Structure 1
Amino acid sequence: MPEFSTVPGAPAPGGAYSHAAVANGFLYTAGFGPQDPETGLVADDVGEQTRQVLRNLGTILAAHDLDFSDVVKTTAHLQHIERDFAAYNAAYLEFFDEPYPVRTTVGSQLLGILVEIDVVAALRT
């Protein structure tokens, strides 16, 4: 049976969803945007937005006694993939070390943000 959670210190869900689900040895997160959980503010550039998204995801991982080394899969959505990929990728590399998790990065229509990311992490046994 999956266990769903909403984590204090992360931005409040913007709809009818949980921050994370634990099932079958994995943690699955919702897609997170770049909202600062305290101020709600969003930076203007994709690099800083990516950093804030990953800080938000780091809060979810830490609440489950995990970190970015436990991540096995990321999915990222970029509003302007051709324009912003290099800056997004540079910020992403600040949080992940080799061997990198598998990743899908796609262009998407996003409302008022430049990047959204979700992750799948293997639970520690």
Structure 2
Amino acid sequence: MKKKIQTDQAPGAIGPYSQAIDLGDLIFVSGQIPLDPKLGSIVSGGIETQTEQVMKNIGAILDAANLTYSDVVRAEVFLTNMDNFGKVNEIYVQYFSEEPKPARFAVGVASLPMNSLIEIAVIAKRS
């Protein structure tokens, strides 16, 4: 049975989707953009600031599911500028420091919601 995961510590959905879906063993976290959950707007600053906010949003949703970054098995990274890939990795690795790291892909896209520079979605597995 699927169950919706919802927390006010991460931005609410800006469309017809859930923050995350819990399927028991697997948790699918929707793509997170750098929205400040209290203000409802994109955080100011460059790719580093935006990546930090995305990771905080993901962390809040994982926490609401009683999970941590160590439970993440896959990450999907979308960037509007692939030149930012190195900067994103510097921040990303701070959250995914344990081995094995999640499987991941990163792609360049023309644009993202609310003109954000980055969006990340993850899949986590309960132990």
Equivalent residue runs for 1:1-125 within 5 Å: 1-23=1-23, 25-39=25-39, 40-81=41-82, 83-97=83-97, 98-108=99-109, 109-111=111-113, 112-124=115-127
What's the secondary structure of 1:89's corresponding residue? helix
Alpha-carbon distance in 1 for matches of 2:66, 2:6: 15
The total of aligned residue pairs comes to 123
Q: Give the counterpart letter for 2:122 in structure 1.
A: V
- 1:7 CA displacement: 1.6
Unmatched runs of 5 consecutive residues or more in structure 1: none
Q: Cα distance, 1:5 vs. partner?
A: 2.4
Q: Residue type of the partner of 1:90? A: E
Cα distance between partner residues in 2 of 1:58 and 1:43? 20
Any conservation in 2 of the 1:48–1:91 contact (CA below 8 Å)? Answer: no
Q: Indicate the larger mover: 37-46 or 97-106.
A: 37-46
| Larger mean Cα displacement after TM superposition, 50-59 or 90-99 | 90-99
- SS for the counterpart of 2:78 is strand
Post-superposition offset of 1:24: 5.1
SS at match of 1:73: strand
TM-score with structure 2 length normalisation? Answer: 0.91
The CA deviation at 1:48 is 1.4
Deviations 1:50-87, CA, capped at 9 Å, x for gaps: 11101000000001111000000000100001x11111
Letter of the 2:105 partner, please give it: T
- List structure 1 runs of 4+ shifted beyond 6 angstroms: none
TM-score normalised by structure 1 residue count:
0.92
| Percent identity for Structure 1 against Structure 2 | 35
| Residue aligned with 1:16, SS | coil
Distance 1:79 1:9 in 2: 26
